Structure 1
Amino acid sequence: MAPEGRQPNMVWLFFSPSGRISRLPFFLSWLFWCLIAGFMVARMAANEADETALGLWTLAFVVSSLVSLPSIAMLAIKRLHDIGYPGPLSLCLFIPVLSPIAFIALCLWPGTPGPNEFGAHSDEPGPGTG
């Protein structure tokens, strides 16, 4: 369990590069962002005849995309930390040909058992975060 003051929370999960996360939280977080994007696209398609509603849903889609991109990078960094690799490899998720391969690898590759240089345990903030 994380020491007092360093408890995992949603802000840490989605927007912090420190610590480690295991496969399930990584996959479920990606699924969350995919569901948000899918909902926005469905609303855009349902309102294509109404210019005002279409414009608002398009704006909501753009804003959610701008929020999800850094979040996805932070999730990938923490997942790479769990495996024992450095965070900059997360850039592979933004290369179109490598993206599906990297995503599948991060979902299936088991994490390092026990402590590693990025944290003592999976699914908690790393050292030095508060």
Structure 2
Amino acid sequence: MDGKQLKWLFFGFSGRVSRMAYFLAGLLLAIFQAFALYQFTLAPEESSASQVWATLFWTVFFISVWSYVALGVKRLHDFGKPGIFAVTLFIPMVSILAFIVLCLYPGDPGENEYGERTNAPR
């Protein structure tokens, strides 16, 4: 994957994405968030390191929110649903079920209104 494809995967809203790509991209985002949070908890309170890790965590968090929405929209597109349903990823308790469904539910075989194939922009 080149930089353009990664940019589309994490930040683009057009096209479709497969179950595996959705799961792995979501896992990568969660690892980045967990790493920044872990480093923040290890840093001594009120230290400059603590401030740096807190800033990094919040930066990663807000970038991840955008990416989770983009991934959710593309995953919904894969089985022909409009991307607006991606808001369910932010409803507590429903979000866990929605993530599992998006990871397990198979996409449309072949072309649909959101693209010719999975893992590609429209």
Asked if TM exceeds 0.5, the reply is: yes
Aligned to 2:12: 16
Aligned to 1:62: 58
CA distance in 1, matches of 2:86, 2:44: 35
- Note if 1:84 corresponds to 2:80: yes
Aligned to 1:102: 98
State the AA in 2 paired with 1:63.
Answer: T
State the AA in 2 paired with 1:16.
Answer: G
Q: Secondary structure at the match of 1:9?
A: helix
Q: Given the two structures, how large is their TM-score scaled by the length of structure 2?
A: 0.94
Q: Secondary structure at the match of 2:78?
A: helix
* 1:50, distance to aligned residue in structure 2 (A): 5.7
1:61-82 Cα shifts (integer Å, max 9, x gaps): 0011111101110000000000
Larger proportion of helix: 2
Gap runs ≥5 in structure 1: 1-7
- Note if 1:31 corresponds to 2:27: yes
1:24-60 Cα shifts (integer Å, max 9, x gaps): 1000000011100110111011113462111110000
State the AA in 1 paired with 2:103.
Answer: C
State the AA in 2 paired with 1:43.
Answer: Q
Q: Runs (4+) of structure 1 moved beyond 6 Å?
A: none
CA distance in 2, matches of 1:49, 1:101: 36
Q: Given the two structures, how large is their TM-score scaled by the length of structure 1?
A: 0.88
1:73 pairs with 58, 63, 69, which one?
69
Identity %, equivalent residues: 39
State the AA in 1 paired with 2:7.
Answer: V
Aligned to 2:111: 115
Gap runs ≥5 in structure 2: none
What number of residue pairs does the alignment pair up? 119
- RMSD (Å) for aligned C-alpha atoms: 1.1
Q: Secondary structure at the match of 1:112?
A: coil
State the AA in 1 paired with 2:74.
Answer: K
